[in-house]
Structure formats: C-alpha cells, structure tokens
C-alpha cells in the first residue's frame, strides 16, 4: 500500500534556475586545486558524486579533518549558486495539482533534495508548497547524499513507514541510484530518452514519464 510519495526538488517539482554546469565546473576546479586526483573527477557526473569521490580520496590521503574542510568549502560554492534560484524558480506543469491529489487520498508528500535546507525551504515557501509537504530532507540532514540511499531512508524514518510503502519521483540518474539502493519504487521524470547505463538496466524496474501529470495514474489519482 502506498503511504508516501517523495519528490526530488530541482528539475522535478521545479525548474532549475541556477547555472548547474558552471557550478559543477567551479567545484571541480576547486577540488583539483585542493590536491584531489583529477582522474577521479568526472564532468559528466553530478556535483554531489564528484564531491563524495573527492572526500573519499582526501580522507584516505590526508585524513578526515581535511576531508571535512574540503567538503564544507565545496558545498559553500554550490550554495552560492543555489541561492540564485530563490525568486527565479517556478513550479513545473502539473506539480500543484498532483500534490493536491496525492494529499486528498491521504498519502503523505515529502521532498528529498541535495539542495540546502535554506534554499529548499525558501523556494517551497515562495511557491506556496510548504504547507503541503509533510517531510523535507535536504543535504543538511544527511552526511551522505543521493545517490546514497541515506536521505530517502531518513524520509521514511520521519514518516514512520518502510521503503516499500513509498514512491520516489526524480529526474536524474542520482535519484534513480538512490531509489535502487533504498529498495524503493521509482518514477523517472524525463522528456529525453534514458542512457542505457549498467546501473539502470541491472535488475531494477522503474516507470518513466515525460510529465508530472502522467504520475496521477500511477498513484491512483485518475481511473
């Protein structure tokens, strides 16, 4: 029985207002200047995967304290870009009606994002969604971020449900991998064809939709 629908924020419920590509480039440049092996960093992967790879490397080579400092400074760069979203972000088509429909069925609604708490709460408040969200988990709530399952597990713990009772909706490979690791049902929101990576096809079934409106049928909002 479905008890909760968990949404990613950027790219899923809302558009991405900040220059993600530029933010990633600056973070990678900082990590390289901090003596992270450049071969471990990959511009095709998410900011968060690159930061975690760097933290793991720095921990092994220079110790945990330096790794924590590098992680903190890297996320300060991300935060400076994220805050540009506030006041510029808008809801993706169908987001409000989908959430309202889910709530009307007695199903909880949560947000699980790698954004900061400040940015997430500011955007949700600005878009008049805050009162509709039962639980919000951001990067400030978990030591490990998506694609690790930890943030999703925290959501389920806060809602007092099992992962099998939740559905996660996201728009990236990072989201998919987090759902897979958590053992959670997943809906991939994308208008693009999905890259056939090993992670996707390796015994993990998920739904793919091109719009939020299509999710209404999945959660039982339409017959």
Report the distance separating Cα 119 and Cα 145, nearest Å: 16
Residue 104 confidence class, pLDDT cut points 50, 70, 90: very high
What's the chain's average pLDDT? 92
Taking residues 99-115, report their average pLDDT.
96
Asked whether the predicted pLDDT for residue 18 surpasses 70, the reply is yes
- Residue by residue, DSSP assigns 8-41 as -TBTTTB---S-HHHHHHHHHHHHHHTT--GGG-
Q: What is the pLDDT of residue 192?
A: 80
Report pLDDT digits (tens) over 201-217.
677 889 999 999 999 99
Q: What is the pLDDT of residue 153?
A: 98
Query: How do the domains of the chain map onto residue ranges?
Result: 4-15+90-218, 20-85
Give the burial class of 134: count Cβ atoms within 10 A of its Cβ; 0-12 exposed, 13-18 middle, 19 or more buried: middle
Q: What is the pLDDT of residue 195?
A: 61
Report the distance separating Cα 75 and Cα 27, nearest Å: 8
Residue 197 confidence class, pLDDT cut points 50, 70, 90: low
Alpha carbons within 13 angstroms on the beta-carbon side of residue 173 total 16
Report pLDDT digits (tens) over 136-194.
999 999 989 999 999 999 999 999 999 999 999 999 889 999 999 999 999 999 988 76
For domain 4-15+90-218, is the CATH number 3.40.50.1000?
yes
């Amino acid at each position: 029985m479905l008890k909760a629908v968990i949404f990613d924020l950027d790219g899923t419920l809302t558009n991405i207002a900040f220059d993600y590509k530029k933010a990633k480039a600056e973070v990678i440049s900082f990590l390289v200047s901090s003596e992270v092996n450049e071969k471990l960093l990959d511009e095709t992967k998410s900011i968060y995967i690159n930061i975690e790879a760097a933290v793991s490397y720095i921990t092994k080579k220079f110790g945990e304290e330096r790794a924590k400092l590098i992680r903190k400074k890297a996320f300060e760069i991300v935060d400076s870009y994220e805050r540009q979203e506030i006041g510029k972000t808008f809801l993706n088509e169908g987001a409000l009606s989908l959430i309202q429909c889910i709530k009307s069925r007695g199903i909880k609604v949560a947000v699980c994002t790698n954004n900061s708490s400040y940015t997430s709460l500011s955007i949700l408040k600005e878009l008049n969604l805050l009162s509709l969200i039962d639980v919000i988990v951001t990067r400030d709530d978990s030591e490990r971020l998506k694609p690790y399952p930890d943030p999703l597990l925290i959501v389920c713990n806060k809602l007092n449900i099992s992962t099998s009772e939740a559905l996660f909706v996201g728009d990236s490979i990072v989201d998919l991998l987090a759902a897979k690791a958590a053992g959670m049902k997943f809906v991939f929101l994308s208008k693009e064809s999905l890259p056939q990576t090993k992670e996707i096809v390796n015994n993990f079934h998920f739904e793919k939709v091109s719009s939020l409106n299509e999710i209404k049928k999945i959660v039982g909002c339409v017959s």
